[in-house]
Structure 1
């Protein structure tokens, strides 16, 4: 796990956590609170469920670690968070890189979001070595997926699946 970016930690961060970290956020995204005052309405707050699931499965930390080789020395935005922000923008209905602006409009929910030029530069950098970048992203996704299925236990889609009991998908 990368210690260069202690904010985006994976699922193993709790095992080695010291008491002086208690109370500090381990999320790339701000903490939220809910009240009944009917002010501060956020239109895309449903994406928080998606982000918290990604955090619990370790996707935020895994992407941060996997894409660390592409991080510029003085960069203020983590490539893993940028890629996750793009994915969230797509989940919210976006269809191009500029749609990360949906997240940028709500810094209290999504934290600091990279500018369009920064996103574009990262994608250009990743595309220059596409096979390595895709392998890194695939590795992070596989790690998070394995953690999610392990956490799901008997409710996992792959629970009890083997050669004698194959998974059957009825289309």
Structure 2
């Protein structure tokens, strides 16, 4: 029995680039998220977290576990208080691109939680590597 699934041309990874321009078009309700998204990208935290969570990526996964975790963090930054609040990102696909469904987010968090300290250490190591790399180049953000 074949399982019918929609084919996706490429896996979903980083956030799309956002341009700010005035032109009378509708305003994005989560425009305040541009700064944290660009900070994550500029620091390399998006690629660092994605690389660290590669062991938890399913073989045919569409959504990158690192991106999912960053989406959850961004939802918290924007005022969310539960995993389902990634829906506010999903509602602004022009800004955030494709965002994982609630069941996908919950499955990843369950998987990471089941891994215990191993997953937590992977995230900590990625953060530390990014911080060390930025510090070594004089871009640690301190003034």
With structure 1 as the length reference, what TM-score do the two structures score?
Answer: 0.71
SS of 1:46's equivalent?
A: helix
1:11-50 matches, within 5 Å, as 28-50=14-36
- More deviation in 126-135 or 137-146? 137-146
Counterpart pick for 2:104 among 102, 115, 118: 118
Give yes or no for the alignment of 1:65 onto 2:45.
no
Q: What's the RMSD between the two structures over aligned residues?
A: 2.1
**Structure number with larger C-alpha Rg:** 1
Deviation for aligned residue 1:40: 2.6
With structure 2 as the length reference, what TM-score do the two structures score?
Answer: 0.84
Give yes or no for the alignment of 1:134 onto 2:120.
yes
Structure 1 stretches of 4+ moved >4 Å: 5-8, 151-155
Cα distance in 1 for partners of 2:135, 2:45 equals 13
* Aligned 8 A contact 1:82 1:114 in 2: yes
Larger relative contact order (CA 8 Å, sep ≥ 6): 2
Q: Which has a greater percent of helix?
A: 2
Cα distance in 2 for partners of 1:83, 1:154 equals 23
Deviations 1:64-121 (A, max 9, x none): 1000000000000000000000000000010100000110000110011000000000
Partner residue, 1:166 = none
Deviations 1:39-72 (A, max 9, x none): 1310112211111111111100011100000000
Structure 1 segments unaligned to the other structure (5+ residues): 9-27, 158-171
Cα distance in 2 for partners of 1:58, 1:113 equals 19
